[in-house]
Amino acid sequence: MWFYDVFLSLDVKGILLFMFSFLLIADFIRNRTPANFPPGPKALPFVGNILSLDTKYPHVYFSKLADIYGNVFSFRLGRQPVVIVSGHKMVKEAIVAQAENFVDRPFNAISDRFYTEPSGGIFLSNGEIWKKQRRFALSTLRTFGLGKNTLELSICEEIRHLQEEIESEKGKPFSPAGLFNNAVSNIICQLVMGKRFDYSDHEFQTMLECMSEGLMLEGNIWGQLYDAFPQVMKYLPGPHNKIFSNYNAVKDMLLEEIQKHKKDLDPSNPRDYIDTFLIEMENHKDSLGFTEGNLAFCAFDLFIAGTETTATTLLWALLYLTKYPEVQEKVQAEIDRVIGQSRQPSMADRQNLPYTDAVIHEIQRMGNIVPLNALRVAAKDTTLGGYFIPKGTSVMPMLTSVLFDKSEWETPDTFNPGHFLDSNGKFVKREAFLPFSAGKRVCLGEGLAKMELFLFFVGLLQKFTFSEGNGQASPHPLSFGLSRPQNETSPNGSKQFGLQEGSSGLTFLPSKKSQLTSGLTFKHVTTETISPCTN
């Protein structure tokens, strides 16, 4: 009663001070950490550490924190404590040795708003639904060519279309980013929808543009703010709202495609992933995520995962080839010796192209396309690096720290294809090469991505030589990682090369025997994205 009387006696300032003090105490109580919890930077009330986060290069910022606090440390994103795991040894401990404990995804505000189906598609679902949907997707993709010669033929046909598009520019500066997105996306479209799109198809281009912009917004400060403070951000205007309008536009296009499939579905002769899913729906009667709504979300996940990372890796391949022309020459010499100019490449050539294979792997390592793996959540109390991780704690494996681990790589900060070659020039696998993550949530599209990267890379270098328009290496630094704006730092914090929008660009020769010369301008070498290929 006395408390009520005191409260009534307060003026407006006193009431506000009381409410602030109450919220401050509540925040402190809510965010108390247990004994032996991983250390980390001091967090502010309500907002946590988000104000100190480098939103353009979070992986660089987290790498610096790992130097201070060790390979297992904590960080507060808004009100959510997250444990960051760094270094090859500790990342493998979390996602492989303790795979069962760190297999599920935690709550994510953006995904919760977009994935209106409780099943959550493929990549963000959990439990039996996730296991069933992942197995079904892998099995279905294999049925329609994944890992088979039929898919190789489809990729080689797409390479031919890509080569023709490049040749048609006839010397005019252009952006290869759109072409790479078109070519790579057409492969997953054939598996999921049973068809490829012409590069000038308006609906196809709209779908790709919505996807790319949505991923960019989700990976930048607006997406991070929405994840940290969804209760506030969902009522505020801003670019974050376009994440959902873009994603819903892609989903609506996929729903239209599903309706087309339903009209001429032949249960005895499925044509693609959508057909097979529709047939499976009859067997499961809306159980284990086999609903029409969830089909759209599963197709969305496959479309995202099957396009963005591979297309972006090909862009970085061109940049590294122009930075190191001696590497490009050596790759082309090996291709000429093994394949020649009279036929297209095949996966059977890979074992005979060790240097080319090593260059592709080093591009993936240095390109560091997905530096921060998607969040996991601890299913039970456990320990990592000697620290206590309570049940329900979100954990983020930092793949950058594995690809640049000084204890695993001879020259981690240098582009060096020798990382993947033995003393005899034979290709060697490296345990710390984890661009697709590892464990139970290893990228579902790893096999497809490897096939596409090899065939597209070899197909391009078999026909074209890439160089700067002025013959000089670009002086502009370039960053890699979750976001890739120009003129910044690489994952390890050092300056790297790159091209600015509107720069003089690159020049290519369609083949070493041809006289045709064209200009190639990278207008958009920035890609801001979270982990599209995290399963």
- The enclosing H or E element of 389 equals strand 387-389
**Across the beta sheet with 518-520, what order do the strands follow?**
465-468, 506-509, 518-520
Confidence of residue 24 (pLDDT cuts 50, 70, 90): low
CA distance 340 to 184: 24
pTM equals 0.86
In sequence order, what DSSP letters do the residues of 472-529 get, joined into one string? Answer: S---EEB--SS---BSSB-TTS-B-EE--TTS--EEEES-TT----EEE--S------
Mean pLDDT of the chain: 84
* Residue 362 C-beta-side C-alpha neighbours within 13 Å: 28
Q: What is the mean pLDDT of residues 392-407?
A: 96
Tokens 């660089």 sit at which residue? 60
Residue 525 lies in a domain: no
Which pLDDT score is estimated for 475? 33
List pLDDT tens digits, range 506-522. Answer: 444 444 433 333 344 33
CA distance 130 to 127: 5
- 357 in Cβ contact with 427 (< 8 Å): yes
Residue 142 lies in a domain: yes
Q: Which residue range forms the structural domain that includes residue 468?
A: 127-520
Q: Is 189 annotated as a binding residue?
A: no
CA distance 469 to 193: 39
Residue 180 lies in a domain: yes
Q: Taking the mean position of all CA atoms in its chain, how far away is CA 489?
A: 19
- 472 in Cβ contact with 503 (< 8 Å): no
- Bridging pattern class, strands 394-397 and 80-85: parallel
Residue 166 lies in a domain: yes
Residue 78 lies in a domain: no
- By residue count, the chain amounts to 535
DSSP state of 96: I
List pLDDT tens digits, range 284-330. Answer: 877 899 999 999 999 999 999 999 899 999 999 999 998 999 999 99
* Phi, psi angle pair for 127, to nearest 5°: 65, -145
Residue 285 lies in a domain: yes
- 38 in Cβ contact with 69 (< 8 Å): yes
3-state SS of the chain: helix, strand, coil percent to 5? 50, 10, 40
Which pLDDT score is estimated for 535? 57
Q: Which residues fall within 8 angstroms of residue 492, CB to CB, at 6 or more apart? A: 60, 63, 404, 412, 413
Residue 461 lies in a domain: yes
371 CB burial (10 A radius; 0-12, 13-18, 19+): buried
- 93 in Cβ contact with 386 (< 8 Å): no
- 119 in Cβ contact with 110 (< 8 Å): no
CA distance 84 to 384: 10
CA-derived radius of gyration, the chain: 25
Q: What is the CATH number of the domain that holds 405?
A: 1.10.630.10
DSSP state of 81: E
In terms of pLDDT, which residue wins out, 244 or 504? 244
Confidence of residue 172 (pLDDT cuts 50, 70, 90): low
Structurally, how many domains does the chain consist of? 1
In terms of pLDDT, which residue wins out, 53 or 420? 420
Residue 312 lies in a domain: yes
